[in-house]
Amino acid sequence: MKKIFGGPAIFLDRSDINTDEIIPAKYLTEVTKEALKPYCLEDLKLEGFDPQGERLKNACVIISRENFGCGSSREHAPWVFEVNDMHTVIAESYARIFRQNMFNCGMLAIELPKADIDALMALEKEANGAVNVKVNLPDQQVVACGNGREVSFSFDISPFDKALVDAGGWVEYADARY
């Protein structure tokens, strides 16, 4: 199924956010994605961050720094985002397995250079956290609006990753092809 991208953003201004922080292992006993929903980012170590807060509840886009999603291969990390309607992550860089898991689920792991992430973080401050992000996948553009101001950035996505998103994920793609 194709996903909807974009919406209100939450800013996690830290590098190396690992999948244990995104979804602690004690919840890996669940065998449905839906059951993960209340535990999103529960163990995140980040000052001022509240895993039960409104900001996370309303967010559809996560914006972060380097090496996002490192550590465990658990796809429960993208899933906990998926069931919370957060289909887009924008970060400076990713751990390989997490990035692949996102595209395999038909979701977006967008990479932007540090300067662009800095600009997004600055917009967050200016807008007191109220930043809305639009993702234009065909044109490979991210547009962020906050405090009456708009900033836009273009991003690269490999043709394979794009094909996965278009197909709705790797199972659909592979099933049609192999």
Partner 1 sequence: MGQTTAEKIFAAHLRDEPFPGTKVLDLDRVLCHEITTPVAIADLEWRGKDRVFDNTKIKAVIDHVTPSKDSKTALQAKMLRDWARRHNIKDFFDIGQNGVCHALFPEKGYIRPGFTAIMGDSHTCTHGAFGAFAAGVGTTDLEVGILKGVCAFREPKTIRINLTGSLQSGVYAKDVILFVVGQLGVNGATDRVIEFHGPVVDAMSMDARMTLGNMAIEAGGTCGICQPDMVTVDYLWPFIQDEFASKQVALEEYSQWCADADAEYDKILDFNVTELVPHVTFGYKPDCVKPASEMAGTKIDQVYIGTCTNGRIEDLRQAAEVLKGHKIADSLRGIVSPATPKIFQEALAEGLIQIFMDAGFCVTNPTCGACLGMSNGVLADGEACASTSNRNFNGRMGKGGMVHLMSPSTAAATAIAGVITDARAL
Site residues, partner 1 (CB under 8 A): 16, 18, 20-21, 24-26, 28-33, 43, 45, 66-67, 70-75, 78, 93-98, 100-101, 104-105, 158-160, 163, 169-171, 174-175, 177-178
Nearer residue to partner 1 within complex by CB, 15 or 136: 15
The least distance separating partner 1 from the CB of residue 149, rounded to whole angstroms, comes to 32
| Sheet bearing 108-111, strands edge to edge | 108-111, 88-91, 61-64, 7-12, 132-136, 141-146, 149-154
Nearer residue to partner 1 within complex by CB, 111 or 126: 111
The least distance separating partner 1 from the CB of residue 25, rounded to whole angstroms, comes to 4
Cα torsion angle, 106, 13, 91, 31, sign = negative
Residue 111 buriedness (CB in 10 A; 0-12 / 13-18 / 19+) = middle
The least distance separating partner 1 from the CB of residue 38, rounded to whole angstroms, comes to 15
The least distance separating partner 1 from the CB of residue 78, rounded to whole angstroms, comes to 7
| Beta partners for residue 65, in sequence order | none
Of 87, 119, 89, the closest CA to residue 105 belongs to 87
Nearer residue to partner 1 within complex by CB, 148 or 159: 159
| Beta partners for residue 149, in sequence order | 146
Nearer residue to partner 1 within complex by CB, 10 or 102: 102
